[in-house]
Copies of this chain bind each other. A is one copy, B any other.
Amino acid sequence: MNFCPNCGAPIEFRVPEGDDRKRNICSATGEIFYDNPRNVVGTLVERDGRMLMCRREIEPRRHFWTLPAGFLELGETSAGGAARETLEEAGVQVRAPRLFNLIDVTHIGQIHMFFIAEMVGDHYAPGQESNDVRFFAEDEIAWPQLAFPSIHRTLERYFADRAGGHFGVHVESLAAADWHAMALDRRPRDVG
């Protein structure tokens, strides 16, 4: 951040009085601009025991597989945003979303929230950010071909809870080391 988005004056990066960390501060007016974590919201949708997944058409991780998810927008609820993303990316309408997993991904300043939701109707089709939409059985999932570690972790938890007969609400965090430890493939390949 170099210029004040309000008045265009140069920005200073320093600790404001009474604060304990550096902030972007307008050199003309003293206004402080805070940078905070952003929320990514998505769904876990089953049909006949198989999981709805999308193949990404956009970077990062283009052509890797993901649960439908994206950034929460102003004015929507977290569950509502998850439903919107599912419609946009997979063409699937859902109902009754309930929180399943909340993951603090601190090294990239994000919270990822996944909601278990029910599919309404039979329609599915890739949206403009996907190039394929499929339903995978647990043993069909190509784990190293997943787009992001939060997807990996959430699917693991989902199948574990499903096997146990009860879906809980989970809160966890993923650090940079956890991401690397999952050893996701660097290149996409055909699956299934």
Chain A residues within CB distance 8 Å of chain B? 1-8, 11, 18, 21, 24, 33-39, 71-80, 98-99, 102, 104, 106-107, 109, 111, 128, 169, 171, 173
Contacts A35-B74, A36-B39, A109-B74 hold; do A8 and B3 have CB atoms under 8 A apart?
Answer: yes
Docked pose: A106 CA to B84 CA in angstroms: 15
Cβ 8 A contact of A74, one of B37, B79, B80, B98:
B37
On chain B, the residues within 8 Å of A171 by CB distance are: 78-79, 98-99
Docked complex Cα distance between A21 and B81 (Å) = 14
Given A1-B6, A5-B5, A75-B107, 8 other A-B contacts at CB below 8 A?
A2-B6, A2-B7, A3-B5, A34-B71, A37-B39, A37-B72, A37-B73, A79-B104
A-B CB proximity, top 8 nearest: A77-B104, A3-B8, A169-B169, A74-B109, A1-B5, A77-B173, A36-B38, A99-B171
Collect the chain B residues with CB atoms within 8 Å of residue A80's CB: 104
* A99 partner, pick from B33, B107, B169, beta carbons under 8 A: B169
21 contacts between A and B (CB under 8 A): A1-B6, A2-B6, A2-B7, A3-B5, A4-B5, A5-B11, A18-B128, A36-B38, A36-B73, A74-B106, A74-B109, A75-B106, A75-B107, A75-B109, A76-B104, A77-B106, A78-B102, A78-B171, A79-B104, A80-B104, A169-B169
Q: How far is the CB of A171 from chain B (nearest CB, A)?
A: 5
Chain B residue with minimal CB distance to A174?
Answer: B77
- Expressed in whole angstroms, the minimum distance between the Cβ of A102 and any Cβ of chain B is 7
